[in-house]
Chain A
């Protein structure tokens, strides 16, 4: 398991400000929640894929759009053959529907993770006057994820030497022992890193009372405004379509 989030958009044709990305995320998830129109979601998905490609991840965009295309196709084609067992139909519908509705939201999160360096992300929020108090835990969270996975890998090796097995049988026979053997080294080891991290951070002058500056240049550019307008417009459009569909259903 590798949880190092090291996004970058150096190869991209355009660079999008992290705040715009968050806005995109919010509208995307709102659309997913409020509008059950296929058109709205498809529209969002397509735009997001294009955006991905423009920000230097064309392969990701291609894969995602292929996956979406296949799922939509399967959904559309499922009506043409009857008589299948109900369970299969249900599972397939469940999978395709969940995928479709979650697609824009997941894509927008993935977009943030894949194309934004954490420090850039944090600077943007600092520029928005989000208190440092809110930023620090997030920064530490991302900083710590790889550390924890690293610890976990080390612990598994240590277990191999000590004859502690993580096989299903072992877990079922000794559930409490297993939990203890996983948690204790993980927590003790991580806590010592935590402590040192906190000391180092404070010794280098991180203070909630003092105003921080930021080296990363964060500014909304024309692209950002364009995207904001675009996504807002799509949001309204999706809402209208959903409304019309509802009325249509009533009529």
Chain B
């Protein structure tokens, strides 16, 4: 129990602003959840500080009255005493943890209380279980996302088991999923009977948890609401209280603001934007255009690459790709000078000692104009104050003012409204709208209220890719709301492991790693033997110089040594190569297998997006390039470097001055090659993007040739092809152009090490510091060194390409896999339910919040114009794609929980396109149920009305489908599909009716077959022709991704205009067909 008795507190001392709270009388009972709300500076944070004792023990000030938690007088007790009863979570995830590792942080509170180790261990285990923290244990906190940090903060408090939880704006820095998780955690804490006090601006996520909302105004409690009472307040009433919305469903866009029509020319254009950090691809964007005069909201979950994208756009983050402002491609520095970013941590960008100086720093506007701007932003009174003494919202506006005065064209904002109250948020929105004429704004935000208040476009980023870019019109509002309301709480932040290029490949090698190591050893041996002949030569020379002449007998041992070394060299080298190749090809196999595994888990849509060309290139060409790396780069490169070093060491032993000279030369060479590697890496992105495009356009060109010729469009299609050929050439040339000079430099340096050490050695010999035979040996060694290093460098030079290919292999399939569980099917019946389902395909939303139920034993028909989303619904049921939000259920069970196999057992999906395998017709039907007997197959074929035409073939059921594929009409193919379905006998039938193939003669047979199939099943028919579904139990009329109306045929004919229109159209076409039939 928490009791405030006539409490007043005013800040004094260092933070002395005189603000505070007055005459607080408040009792919070055990197990209550109380939300403190009100505008910024109303004193809600002060109240939380009074409960956890930070006021007055940390934030100094004057206090009157008593604050008690249970029986403890908080205002007098030591903080450590209070902390036993009160646990606190703060606003900023970045600053509230004391330890570097998560485990240490979770037990921090317990340690402070001096608990025994066993006790702590037990509590820690419980926290992990209750809070689902397993994935976060034993990690570096600095690597966690803001949401995860906040989870750890809650977990840490939970481990200490306080009676009271005090949270100060815990959701400020969280994305939608993290807020959802926070909600779950709070729910758990509430269930365990603890008291929770939260001070918060965002209210919507607390509506179902809170028992009371205490409203503060200027330090005084002025009202108290229950959830229900607060929910009843209209938006205007909330606005007058300065409170944010209580229900996201009620949020709507201000109709006055829908004026994005004048958003015209692209002001920012990015092409082939790639960004890699620590060997991980963060961004992969082919094309992005942000229109002029737009206010673009960038949404997406934490870790999806939003910040990386904006930083790349405004020129402070490195990235590959070309970025244009106002149609001109600019360098990073130019972009930084023409854009501005208001950072989340605005303290970092305030440099001066007064607001006006801050604004005038490197400004292009006059002082008068600056004052005007400040006035507009409501900062006139603060002109002479120090920026750091302002409130968070004011600091932000100072930053905006400085951008305006510097004449920037585009301003980026990183979560500008985290921690702003309603007024602050609205004010910010107004400022953006006012600036719109001159300045384009791009806002990273998790705040739906801000988006709906002022934004004109939404850019949705997920996993480093653009998921959608759409204007915020009525549809867009629906879509963005759907995004924020979706109840997903899985964690998206990945534990990004850093792999170097070698580690990246070797992790696939598995047990073949041993072979790589062995290969390296043999290669080193081989290279060693390759160096031995020099010793022999040295011996020969020495003796020649000493004795003046050489005898055959005397030279024999040396010649023998050289020969033996040569043979051993060949043997070891060959053996090493053999081993490395064996390892390489087995690794390739492993990579392909893992790639295939990933491909299987992908939604079919993703694979289509990639294009067959890309997939083929991945499996063939890109993976082949790994062979070079494993079989050559690693063993040969390693052994060459090793032997090179050994030679260098010997050179040092022979004469360190000559060695030093060689080292200096080599270092210069390495610097040059390093430079080449760097610039080569930079350009590699372009190079491969254009090669990818070339690849795709070849395929398009060839596969489209038929159509092109028929419609005589060859010029245009050819142009595209040519264009990509030229681009590829240009990029290739550009790459060589930047690399070539460096190649030449290091090539000449390495090849001619001797050239530089020769005169030095000669000088030393003349001065008598070096004997002649040593000089000659040193020269020999230098000769040996050059080719060795050149060879190595050739290998190293190929590394960027190999690295890029490996990366492209990995990133191609790192898109989120289809969400599949492995639950058993345990639905109550076999009805299908859509619950607020939204789905976007290639950035366009095609299903916009659809809910319906198809009951068991009934026939439900979906009708609508083409493009209304009918077929997409069928594919979603078959789980070809994941929905973006909402749930699809079978018998009450979420289909995401089922494996594809389990789902497949429940559903028969007949799509429009039918694929016949190149097997006999018998086998093709048997695919429906592989263990069916021949008799059963024939029975099914009979019921589907296939038998007649099958028997008309020469070989009957044994006819190869490939051979008769062309003989089968569309209708016949479809009936074979029906036979499959009949054989499979799944309880749910989804039928995407193929209309294209149907002729009147077939139609009756088809309908008979359908009658046969749908008996006692849940049937969903996607009907393109209405006549066949007139007697359906329920007809759902779709239009543009929404349900327009539903009911029976009779009802719809009466009530639904769209349906009437569709019906008439069908009738007409029917007549037309009939007429055609008569004419025949």
Residues of A within 8 A of B (CB): 4-6, 70, 73-74, 77-78, 80-84, 88, 117-119, 139-140, 142-143, 146-147, 151, 154-158, 160-164, 180-181, 184-185, 188-189, 192-193, 196-207, 209-217
Contacts and interface: CB of A to CB of B under 8 A. Distances in A.
A204 B83 contact: yes
B415 to A, nearest CB: 14
12 contacts: A4-B142, A6-B100, A143-B100, A160-B315, A161-B316, A163-B406, A184-B352, A200-B96, A204-B88, A207-B80, A210-B114, A217-B117
List the 7 shortest-distance A-B pairs measured between CB atoms, nearest first: A205-B83, A119-B104, A207-B80, A158-B349, A205-B112, A196-B95, A189-B347
Nearest to A85: B657
Contacts of B336: 160-161
A205 B80 contact: yes
B88 to A, nearest CB: 4
B362 A163 contact: yes
Main secondary structure of the interface of B (DSSP, over half): mixed
Nearest to A193: B95
Nearest to A212: B111
Contacts of B96: 196-197, 200
A198 B80 contact: no
Interface stretch (B419-427, B567-575, B762-770, B895-903): B762-770
A237 to B, nearest CB: 29
A188 B95 contact: no
Contact of B79 (A118, A147, A202): A202
Contacts of A184: 350-352
Interface stretch (B50-58, B665-673, B968-976, B1049-1057): B50-58
B656 A78 contact: yes
B656 A81 contact: yes
B521 to A, nearest CB: 15
Contacts of B103: 119, 215
Interface stretch (B337-345, B915-923, B958-966): B337-345
A199 B769 contact: no
Interface string B92-120: 10111111110110011111111111001
Contact of A203 (B54, B341, B764): B54
B57 A202 contact: yes
Contacts of A84: 656-657
A121 B160 CA distance: 22
A188 B340 CA distance: 21
B871 interface: no
Task: From A83, A156, A200, name the one whose CB has the most chain B CB atoms within 10 angstroms.
Answer: A200
Interface string B1007-1033: 000000000000000000000000000
B402 interface: yes
Given A81-B655, A163-B406, A215-B110, 15 more contacts: A84-B656, A118-B101, A139-B99, A156-B316, A158-B348, A161-B314, A164-B362, A193-B94, A198-B58, A199-B59, A199-B90, A205-B112, A207-B80, A213-B110, A216-B104
Contacts of B104: 117-119, 215-216
B644 to A, nearest CB: 13
Contact of A207 (B112, B115, B333): B112
Given A143-B100, A199-B58, A80 B656 contact: yes
Contacts of A143: 97-100
B111 A213 contact: yes
A163 B351 CA distance: 12
B649 interface: yes
B351 A181 contact: yes
A196 B656 CA distance: 58
Given A203-B54, A215-B124, A209 B100 contact: no
B563 interface: no
Contacts of B349: 155, 158, 161-162, 185
Contacts, number: 206
B78 interface: yes
A187 to B, nearest CB: 10
Given A82-B769, A151-B348, A77 B764 contact: no
B798 interface: no
Interface string B639-654: 0000000000100110
Contacts of A70: 649
B462 interface: no
Given A80-B656, A162-B406, A211-B114, A203 B79 contact: yes
Contacts of B361: 162, 164
A193 B94 CA distance: 8
B343 A81 contact: no
A181 B336 CA distance: 18
Interface in B373-415: 388, 402-403, 406, 408
Contacts of A83: 764, 767, 769
A139 B345 CA distance: 24
Contacts of B794: none
A140 B347 CA distance: 21
Given A73-B649, A74-B652, A189-B347, A199 B54 contact: yes
Nearest to B348: A154
Contacts of B815: none
B343 A158 contact: yes
A154 B653 contact: no
A131 B38 CA distance: 44
Contacts of A209: 78, 80
A180 B79 contact: no
Interface string B303-344: 000000001001110000000000000000100110111010
A202 B217 CA distance: 28
B121 A163 contact: no
A213 B113 CA distance: 7
A155 B41 CA distance: 28
Contact of B769 (A81, A142, A202, A213): A81
A162 B78 contact: no
B755 interface: no
Nearest to A147: B94
B405 to A, nearest CB: 11
Contacts of B116: 213
Contact of A215 (B121, B311, B653, B767): B121
Nearest to A79: B656
Q: Which of A80, A212, A215, A217 has the most CB of B within 10 A?
A: A215
Contacts of B337: 163
B87 interface: yes
Interface string B143-177: 00000000000001100100000000000000000
A43 B653 CA distance: 23
Contacts of B88: 200, 203-204
B95 A80 contact: no
A125 to B, nearest CB: 13
Contacts of A212: 111-112, 114
B79 A207 contact: yes
B679 interface: no
Nearest to B98: A201
Contacts of B83: 203-205
Interface in B72-89: 78-80, 83-84, 86-88
Given A143-B100, A162-B402, A199-B54, A215 B117 contact: yes
Contacts of B341: 157-158, 161
A1 B858 CA distance: 66
Nearest to A6: B140
Interface in B455-500: none
B90 A200 contact: yes
Nearest to B106: A215
Nearest to B99: A119
B660 interface: yes
A210 B53 CA distance: 17
A192 B349 CA distance: 14
